Amino acid sequence: MKTSIRPRLLNGQTGDPALLLTLRWQGRSLLLDLGRIDHTPAAVLLPIEAVFVSHTHMDHFMGFDQLLRLFLARETTLRLYGPAGLADCVAGKLAGYTWNLTDDYAFAIDVTEIDDTMVSWRFRASRRFEREPLGPPRPFSGEVVSDDVVTVTAAPLDHRIVSMAYAVTERTHLNVRADALEATGLQPGPWLNALKAAVRAGAGDDTPIEVAPGRHRPLAALRDALLVVTPGQKIAYAVDVLFSPANARKLVRLAEGADLFFCEAPFLEEDIEQATRRYHLTARQAGALARAAAARRLEVFHFSPRYEGRYGEIAAEAHAEFAGPEVLYAELERGGAALS
């Protein structure tokens, strides 16, 4: 399939979590988690327009300072999303520096906390990064961002604090077949966008599309003759999660049908007690979740350094479970039953 989101773990499977998603042809990037990023060249980081933070444990957020320094003199607004408390963490970081020479800087940070509602604040360099409210709270029902290219959804999971999991889904690609259009004798025009919008909105087959003033054709006939429909790619991301029935249910729903599922696997199953005590997954649990979600590919990461020299075992355990024939965990069976 055509892949137009290019994912890259900036620190590989063993370093701090930071998953860069480059939207090809767009000149835009999204970053999932903000662990240390000091080995990544500036040119790779500059297209980042939004950062989705799972939680603010150090290994997921200490790259904030590096990104701030890189963006400070730019005329742009960086958007940050994450669980409740994120704005306090950002304010705390910003309070650690002196801002007497940034009055004419255009840079700003917009922080949105995701809870029952989504609440946003703006921190402007020109105002010494004072915290200002930004618009009224909006209800949160799973969707965090939706634009012409991608939709980002989120699920709050239990890590003894909230650890937010995310899924980034590209919109369906709709391309007009130029030769087919010519064959119909119709003139290209704004009606093609109206057709695409109607198809995206799931309008009925008989919906009339005005192809020329006063002249209509049914949606289905135009769609079938003229459009090449390519489903968008879906990438799911989950880190620092307890394997509990509630988490499994939410995560399976979020990652359902993902083309690629980036899932933490810090521990081997042999250390399941430790994993559970620390509110983390084992590799086998990661594999079971990916299979239950019917993900097409699983990429495990966030390995504990205790397994240095044995990292291959982690991936092998996760993938054996992912490819395995049975649901081994009662939690997933219960989760699955609740889903259907």
Residues of this chain that bind Zn ion (CB under 5 A): 57, 59, 240
CA angle 281, 286, 290 (to 5 degrees): 150
Nearer Cβ to Zn ion (28/57): 57
> Which residue lies nearer to Zn ion by CB, 123 or 307?
307
Residues 6+ apart with CB under 8 A from 333: 327
Residues contacting residue 70 through CB under 8 Å, at least 6 positions apart: 42, 45, 46
* Residue 23 vs 114, nearer CB to Zn ion: 114
Least distance CB 312 / Zn ion (angstroms): 21
Largest Cα separation within the chain, whole Å, is: 71
CB 152 within 8 A of CB 168: yes
The least CB distance from residue 323 to Zn ion, in Å, is 26
C-alpha to C-alpha distance for 172 and 156, rounded to whole angstroms = 26
Residue 276 identity: T
What are the CA-CA distances from residue 168 to residues 12, 43, 56, 130, 235 (Å)?
20, 23, 20, 31, 5
Q: How far is the CB of 90 from Zn ion (least distance, A)?
A: 18
Taking the complex as a whole, the smallest distance from the CB of residue 302 to Zn ion amounts, in Å, to 6
Least CB distance to Zn ion at residue 33 (A): 8
CB of 239 to Zn ion, least distance (A): 6
For Zn ion, which is the closer residue by CB, 22 or 247? 247
Q: Which is nearer to Zn ion, 16 or 259 (CB)?
A: 16
Q: Measured from the CB atom, is 38 or 148 closer to Zn ion?
A: 38
Q: How far from 280 is each of 8, 90, 263, CA to CA, in Å?
A: 22, 25, 11
Q: Burial, 64: exposed, middle or buried (Cβ in 10 Å; 0-12, 13-18, 19+)?
A: buried
